[in-house]
Structure 1
């Protein structure tokens, strides 16, 4: 990940839609895809029926560089199964990052398009996340029937969506309007989220050889995300849309858009210090319930569980229990 250019990784790995279609087929199911009207290109990929009693909007990790993995799909299927065991009918919809064009894809004779970064820097994914949430609300889901969240870069996107719900960010050319929730979103889970590009922490120097991530990796992919984008202008003006911890804490004061938040991380990951700091910040500024779960693991423990085929870790159980608890009340 550190030394391979993004375009090479994206050429080697199956695309998000190819991974999704293959996985759905292996489950004996039929793909269910929504193309969002906001830009006629953003896609939501469904695991389970489109209209269940509850829904999880999932933003997958991979630094905005790597596409969706089978491990992510296995993880979401596990959550659905555990929820079903408690009598909760739950579906998952997964956001496909980047732009999609069937015409261009055919023109390239099945060549993979660069739908992630650096082709689509900030705030493209954020605008897609907003459109995805609006789509669920317009489809009939109420805020209390929705939980959103993600791992790593997906956690960063979840924080960006949280920030937008707190203070609307105007968009161009989509010109996304503010979301009128008519009530708070039921919950949000943040798994090893990127919360800062400040590398002067103990965890960055202590765990550089233990974690799957390194400073070089995070810095390089972080630059791909923010270069040639309005990211620095947003941060300099004191707005937390692009990075939750890059602005004064007062910006988050009175955050009330989500009822319950769980933030998880590993004690041996380079994000450790930022995750702990973020959790403390949210506890001080949020009007909802905030839980911090730190485990003896490295980055993105739940994805590692399903990518390696190992039993669910305590972090995976904590997130699953959080979703069931939110929807079970």
Structure 2
């Protein structure tokens, strides 16, 4: 199946819409933030007796509870105000780690943040998560810096760049995938990165964005195409991908996938939050029906990814066994990816929450405990991708 629906005009951006919070809401936001220590303390006290926490370290219990409370209690605009911008988050992180602040302004509003030294012979392009609403988070950068340093120990000098795209409501679909395609075009044409030496990785909404890039490469959405025909990436990894913005599966049924109910109490993000953010993102699509295969890939036609081996060498999808998006990730992999690609892998972390490996780095400098089985899998997969490139 091919798409005849295309966009030819660059995205419209309105930076004035970011983090707009009225003064009464700002006051109420401060009240809610002051309540967070009480919520965290309660979770710590109860942690030996509740399933979601009893197998975690106390550091993880505190960190996970804090994130869950913030995403439950604050609106999208309030979270933007509280978290700041991706530029400020990255710049603060780089200063704290005594690394250079390397920001490249790209055409049409996107940016590249380099993690550590700028290297282009072998590289990862990381698409951050955050429901297309929230900025990049410091602990996610720390995770990829950890991967970078572990690769260096194996003699692999790999460059890592973060794709900073315009967030909702500053820009709506397809701005984010347009900007990401522009970034890839820049890396290929200006930085002379070989597609066969680039692995595209993303988590949550960033995983959704990775799937969008693959969709655009298979079914050009932009006229003229931004990524040249015949381009083939080395790899694509999607961690806890946000592939169901409505909570339903690939069938016409409007019934929610079971994990949205089963894992609501165990995950670091609630079902209500996920579905609310999904409604916000979907509401911005200019042509909801025609855009749906790109924006909500679980509802793409069954043969949508048929040509996947032509645009990416290898694919990896992972989920957590205790996350709300678990079943969506399973369905997406089993029905959309696996039938069309022989080098596609899936891993589900037992007891893992949404983006589980990242939350170790929210409270520590590396993976925590034996329960963290996904981080070594990611490192292994990335390593194998570069071994023969």
* Band of TM-score, shorter chain: 0.7 to 0.9
Residues 6, 30 of structure 1: alpha-carbon distance in 2 compared, 3 angstrom cutoff: same
Is 1:55 matched up with 2:114? no
Q: In structure 2, which of residues 224, 238, 244 is the aligned counterpart of residue 190 of structure 1?
A: 238
Match runs of 1:1-329 below 5 Å: 1-37=71-107, 39=108, 41-98=109-166, 116-138=167-189, 139-170=191-222, 175=223, 177-180=225-228, 182-196=230-244, 197-199=246-248, 200-230=256-286, 232-235=288-291, 240-256=293-309, 257-296=311-350, 297-309=352-364, 311=367, 313-329=372-388
Distance in 1 between the 2:125 and 2:147 partners?
12
Flag the structure with higher helix content: 2
Contact 2:94–2:101 (CA<8 Å) still a contact in 1? Answer: yes
Residues 208, 64 of structure 1: alpha-carbon distance in 2 compared, 3 angstrom cutoff: same
Residues 63, 231 of structure 1: alpha-carbon distance in 2 compared, 3 angstrom cutoff: farther
Shift of 1:195: 0.9
Residues 225, 231 of structure 1: alpha-carbon distance in 2 compared, 3 angstrom cutoff: farther
Partner of 1:104: none
Shift of 1:290: 0.4
Distance in 2 between the 1:47 and 1:178 partners?
25
Distance in 2 between the 1:133 and 1:46 partners?
14
Residues 317, 5 of structure 1: alpha-carbon distance in 2 compared, 3 angstrom cutoff: same
Deviations 1:19-58 (A, max 9, x none): 1112112222221111113x2x321111133333211100
SS in 2 for 1:279: helix
Distance in 2 between the 1:259 and 1:88 partners?
19
Residues 144, 169 of structure 1: alpha-carbon distance in 2 compared, 3 angstrom cutoff: same
Distance in 2 between the 1:231 and 1:48 partners?
39
Residues 288, 164 of structure 1: alpha-carbon distance in 2 compared, 3 angstrom cutoff: farther
Partner of 2:14: none
Could you tell me the TM-score, scaled by structure 2's length?
Answer: 0.74
- List structure 1 segments (4+ residues) > 6 angstroms apart after TM superposition: none
Distance in 1 between the 2:316 and 2:198 partners?
15
Distance in 2 between the 1:229 and 1:241 partners?
11
Contact 1:71–1:303 (CA<8 Å) still a contact in 2? Answer: yes
Distance in 2 between the 1:292 and 1:284 partners?
9
Shift of 1:232: 1.3
- RMSD between superposed Cα atoms in Å: 1.7
Flag the structure with higher strand content: 1
Residues 176, 148 of structure 1: alpha-carbon distance in 2 compared, 3 angstrom cutoff: farther
Distance in 1 between the 2:123 and 2:229 partners?
16
SS in 1 for 2:213: helix
Distance in 1 between the 2:76 and 2:228 partners?
37
> Structure 1: where are the runs of 5+ without partners?
99-115
Contact 2:304–2:336 (CA<8 Å) still a contact in 1? Answer: no
Distance in 1 between the 2:307 and 2:165 partners?
30
Greater gyration radius: 2
SS in 1 for 2:308: coil
Contact 1:267–1:295 (CA<8 Å) still a contact in 2? Answer: yes
Number of residue equivalences: 303
Partner of 1:107: none
Contact 1:254–1:285 (CA<8 Å) still a contact in 2? Answer: no
